[in-house]
Amino acid sequence: MRLVVDLNKCQGYAQCAFLAPDVFAMHGEESLVYDPQPDHEQRERLARAVAACPVQAITADGVDGHGALRGPEAPDGR
C-alpha cells in the first residue's frame, strides 16, 4: 500500500488524523505528517480518511486491492 498527500492542497482540516491516527498526525496547527507506506492493517481506516478529505489531497494505492483511491470530487470539479 502506498500513500501520497498533496501538501499543496492540504488545508489542515485534520479529518485524516482523526480517522487514521496511526497514519496521519498534525504537527502544529497546519502541518501534516504521515506514513507513506502504512501497514495493511490500516487499510479500512485509510480508506475512510481518503474519502473524508474535503480537498482530495490524499491518494492511496492498494487500499481496496485495486488501483489508486482518491477522495470524492469537489463540487467545483477540482
pLDDT of 16-66, one tens digit each?
999 999 999 999 887 899 999 999 899 999 999 999 999 999 999 887 666
Number of C-beta neighbours around residue 58 at 10 A: 27
Q: Which three cell numbers stand for residue 11?
A: 488545508
| pLDDT for position 70 | 72
The model carries a pTM of 0.78
- Which segments within the chain are labelled E, that is strand? 2-5, 24-27, 31-34, 58-61, 68-70
| pLDDT for position 28 | 87
Beta-ladder partners of 13: none
Does the structure show a pLDDT above 60 at 77?
Answer: no
